[in-house]
Amino acid sequence: MYKVFVNDTPIILSTNKDLGGEYKTYSIKTVRLKRLIRKINKGKITHVNLYHKKEEKLLKFLRKKIKPVIAGGGKVYNTKGEILFIYRNDKWDLPKGKIEKGESIEECAIREVEEETAISGLEITSFLRTTYHIFKRKGKFKLKETYWYNMSSDFDGKLIPQEKEGIEKVKWKSPKKAEKALKNSYANIKLLFEEEEIPAPKINVES
């Protein structure tokens, strides 16, 4: 099962025909995906389940219909157990950004965290999970696939927000303050604080 967010509304991709409740199920063989996304953006639909009996077909379908944009990011811990947050577009977020040609997704994640926060000494400790959201750029829908990693650093210098990327603040937050920040964050960022273990999928990078 996958959750793909349109704003903060999830489209569920699953092998389950009936999710119950208010969810309406559409077969990926017949659904008109972009029309569905437009309805979600207008608030006409809020509970969507895209179905196929074979799980491997789900993400393949999505990537075929909407061009992926690959990004990497980090959930960074310091020696105090605090987590590194950025503040952008009136929301608390985690640092991330688009992959560049010739770099690995791990290199991308570290570079983007460094550029957006001015931190150094980063070390990837484990893969966290992949998040998906659909956005519109230049009149076309794009699928942002962000590959997130747990990272650590003993950096204790000054954190500097990357202003040209619209970042206003960079802050270390204790678990308690992080919980408060998540109340003013994005649904896909909240997924990074869930406890379930997610295996690293194969990355579909076309650059």
Mean pLDDT in residue range 134-154: 94
* pLDDT digits 0-9 by tens, 111-133: 999 999 999 999 999 999 999 99
For residue 77, the model assigns a pLDDT of: 97
DSSP H helices in 12-141: 33-41, 55-65, 105-117
Asked whether 40 and 11 are in contact (CB, 8 A), the reply is yes
For residue 203, the model assigns a pLDDT of: 53
Asked whether 46 and 40 are in contact (CB, 8 A), the reply is yes
Q: Is pLDDT above 80 for 201?
A: no
Element (H, E) at 189: helix 187-190
Among 200, 98, 77, 179, residue whose Cα is nearest residue 144:
98
The rounded Cα 2 to chain-centroid distance in angstroms is 12
Domain residue limits, the chain: 2-65, 71-193
d(CA 147, CA 21): 30
Query: Candidates 3.40.50.20, 3.40.980.10, 3.40.50.620, 3.90.79.10; correct CATH number of 71-193?
Result: 3.90.79.10
Amino acid (one-letter) located at 100: E
Radius of gyration of the chain (CA): 18
Amino acid (one-letter) located at 116: E
